[in-house]
Amino acid sequence: MSGHEHGAGNAWPFRLDHEQFGALRFQDFRGGDIRDVARCLYRDQPEFMQALEADVRERGVQEPVELGHEDTIKEGHHRLAAAYVAGRDVPVALYGERYPRDPETPRWDQLRRDHPGEYAARMSHDPRYWDRPQYQAEDDSEAGQ
């Protein structure tokens, strides 16, 4: 992806500006762009996504998204969707690269456990389930609305 910025002040050498999100592809959302991904995540996991968005607005994205071959996001769909709605940029790591995790990870894990229905929705993005009708998005509303 062109446009990665190298900045001495940034914790991560690569960042994606909000304007670059439209060029990304998503491993777990066949054919979807960032608007589709955000719409789906906010619809199916509203409590988690609203909490994540509030955190991103306050602290920014603390853990990089993983970028794979041909600008495909391998990990970090939720972080990217929250950043998209919040209008923030994201740090990027190349797929398979080691990086420190967000120190708030246990909090996010607990939030997922507190909302088992949303966790089930999260798991529905697994490519093994794509062809099952119950996992195909139908809602055309805007993300976060």
- Domain edges within the chain: 14-135
Q: Which residues pair with 86 in a beta bridge?
A: none
Question: What separation, in Å, do the N-terminal and C-terminal C-alpha atoms of the chain show?
Answer: 30
DSSP string, 4-62: ----TTSSSSEEE-GGGGGG-EETTSTT--HHHHHHHHHHH-HHHHHHHHHHHHHH---
- Residue 60 tokens read as 């920014």
Helix (H, G, I), strand (E, B) or coil at 100: coil
- Give the containing element (helix H, strand E) for 92: strand 90-94
Q: Measured on CA atoms in the order 2, 127, 75, 99, is the torsion positive or negative?
A: negative
Give the pLDDT of the chain (145 residues) as one tens digit per residue: 434 333 333 456 689 998 999 999 987 777 789 999 999 899 999 999 999 999 999 999 999 999 988 888 988 999 999 999 999 999 999 988 888 888 888 998 888 889 878 877 776 765 555 555 555 555 443 333 3
